[in-house]
Structure 1
Amino acid sequence: MKEKLYTIPVNDAFDSGCECPICFMKKTLENNAIEFTMGPSYMEDDVRAETDKTGFCSYHLGKLYENKNRLGLALMLKTHMDKTIKDLESLSVKKGKGPSLFKKTSENSPVKDYTDNLKSSCYICNKIENMFSLYISTFFYLYENDSAFPDKLKASKGFCTEHYGLLFQEADKHLNAGKAENFREELNKVYFDNMKRVREDLEWFIDKFDYRYVNEPWKNSKDALPRTMTKTNSVLEKDT
């Protein structure tokens, strides 16, 4: 199948040799989203309106700070603070429902709803997730329409546990019942075979700290710990 623009990121991820190509896709999206946010786009009205409304999660705020565009980040946070102050000043003077004589109310105040929503919102996360869902759709499109892609899947190093579960679940949305069942069989083999491979490398890594094995070769275990972190917690062993 001739490669199309929208299939390139998925194929690149599988060609990377990463312990989880889906993690690779997501990390690439994160890097692109941060670069976009801290580039000239932060001065555009539509981008600023969205960052003013959603703000950033703590993790991605740290990533933006590392980008070194301190003025751009300061400008975005300043107008985000302006909106937050204005909204909360308005909400804080609204009278909430008083306690009921006969039953307790579990409804939050408008202020608490606002702060809870803000805590769980992030411009970078939203940008990643919007594209990530398209990448997953493209993954299944390639599996169904590119004769070479199933072999690429089988030859891969598998997936992290989170993304194994995601692909297992998403199969029914993108494939008919017969193809979904076949896909899950292939997915199970590539996931479990590679989990066991990394687990064996990790076991040998541990054994190498035993004096009885000090003179034995490291085999493939020197980087077993970061590769295990990818498998268990979706922590990519290296940035894209």
Structure 2
Amino acid sequence: MKEQLYTIPVNDAFNKECECPVCEMYETLQKNAIDFTMGPSYMEEDVRMVTDQAGFCSNHIKLLYENQNRLGLALMLKTHMDRSIKETEKLLQQKQAMGGGFFKKKEGVHPVVDYTRSLEHTCFVCDKIKGMFELYLTSFFYLYRKEDEFRKKFRASKGFCTKHFGMLYDLAERHLNGAMLEEFRSEIGTLYVDNMKRVRDDLEWFTDKFDYRYVNEPWKNSKDALPRTIRKTNSVPVEDK
């Protein structure tokens, strides 16, 4: 099959034995974004301007910390804090100049609150992932429309997590139409439900194995049922210990 732009990572994800190929795509992008952020780029002025302004979400700050480049992370957070302090002081001065104090009831939201809330919804790593992830999803639908071989991979997959099942079901009408849209939604719905039932049954047997009546029975496919369930229900990778 002739590979088109961005179809290689999509095919790679569907070639893996996994409970959600879309999670695999996202996590590859996330790893690349973390590596980029913690690599030599953190010293580049244009990158630091963005990280100073956006900061990082709670999920990605943990992953950045785990990367072990503590100096790089410290330098980025120091200049991010410098900017946050400067912006906050500016907003506080504006408020004081307007009069009324902090406890005067006014319509609307205090500008300091607006600023702090905005920081809760910005993340350099999230932004770096977002554009490429959208291109991957566009490539997914391109392959579904154009390539019989890919449709076979799709139908043979182990389905998707709940989040990405809903995402693909919703996005389908932007990329497909007519009979193909109906076919896709029927197929992905069946894939999702059948594979949720498969994992649910494995999870049920996993719990049964804690009952003394089944202690000598084989585990079947249930030993890793809990991390696979967490992948299905919460889109989170968990190591089986």
Give the TM bin, normalised by the shorter chain: over 0.9
Runs of 4+ that moved beyond 3 A: 96-99
Corresponding position of 1:199: 200
Question: Hey, what's the Cα distance between the residues in 2 that align with 1:3 and 1:191?
Answer: 27
For 1:105-120, what aligned pairs fall within 5 Å after superposition? Answer: 105-120=106-121
Letter in 1 for 2:147: D
Deviations 1:179-218 (A, max 9, x none): 1111001101111111110011001101111111111100
Corresponding position of 1:208: 209
SS of the equivalent of 1:219 reads coil
Q: Does 1:226 align with 2:227?
A: yes
Question: Hey, what's the Cα distance between the residues in 2 that align with 1:164 and 1:88?
Answer: 41
Corresponding position of 1:88: 88
Question: Hey, what's the Cα distance between the residues in 2 that align with 1:46 and 1:186?
Answer: 45
Letter in 1 for 2:134: S
Going from structure 1 to structure 2, the CA distance change for 1:238 and 1:149 (only over 3 Å counts) comes to: farther
Question: Hey, what's the Cα distance between the residues in 2 that align with 1:8 and 1:162?
Answer: 23
Corresponding position of 1:47: 47
Question: Hey, what's the Cα distance between the residues in 2 that align with 1:76 and 1:14?
Answer: 36
Q: Does 1:66 align with 2:101?
A: no
Q: TM-score, normalised by structure 1?
A: 0.93
User: Could you tell me how far 1:105 is from its partner in structure 2?
Assistant: 4.9
For 1:54-203, what aligned pairs fall within 5 Å after superposition? Answer: 54-95=54-95, 105-203=106-204
Going from structure 1 to structure 2, the CA distance change for 1:98 and 1:184 (only over 3 Å counts) comes to: farther
SS of the equivalent of 1:2 reads coil
Question: Hey, what's the Cα distance between the residues in 1 that align with 2:80 and 2:179?
Answer: 50
Question: Hey, what's the Cα distance between the residues in 2 that align with 1:94 and 1:164?
Answer: 47
Q: Does 1:10 align with 2:10?
A: yes
Provide the aligned C-alpha RMSD in A: 1.7
Question: Hey, what's the Cα distance between the residues in 2 that align with 1:178 and 1:115?
Answer: 47
The percent of aligned pairs where both chains have the same amino acid is 63
Question: Hey, what's the Cα distance between the residues in 2 that align with 1:134 and 1:45?
Answer: 27
SS of the equivalent of 1:93 reads helix
Which consecutive residues of structure 2, in runs of 5 or more, have no partner in the other structure? Answer: none
Going from structure 1 to structure 2, the CA distance change for 1:231 and 1:61 (only over 3 Å counts) comes to: same
Corresponding position of 1:32: 32
Deviations 1:46-70 (A, max 9, x none): 1111000000112211111111111
Going from structure 1 to structure 2, the CA distance change for 1:238 and 1:134 (only over 3 Å counts) comes to: farther
Letter in 1 for 2:9: P
Q: Does the 8 A contact of 1:10 with 1:135 survive in 2?
A: yes
Question: Hey, what's the Cα distance between the residues in 1 that align with 2:8 and 2:18?
Answer: 16
Q: TM-score, normalised by structure 2?
A: 0.93
Question: Hey, what's the Cα distance between the residues in 1 that align with 2:3 and 2:239?
Answer: 26
User: Could you tell me how far 1:236 is from its partner in structure 2?
Assistant: 2.1
User: Could you tell me how far 1:109 is from its partner in structure 2?
Assistant: 1.2
Going from structure 1 to structure 2, the CA distance change for 1:108 and 1:97 (only over 3 Å counts) comes to: farther
Going from structure 1 to structure 2, the CA distance change for 1:106 and 1:137 (only over 3 Å counts) comes to: farther
How many residues matched? 235
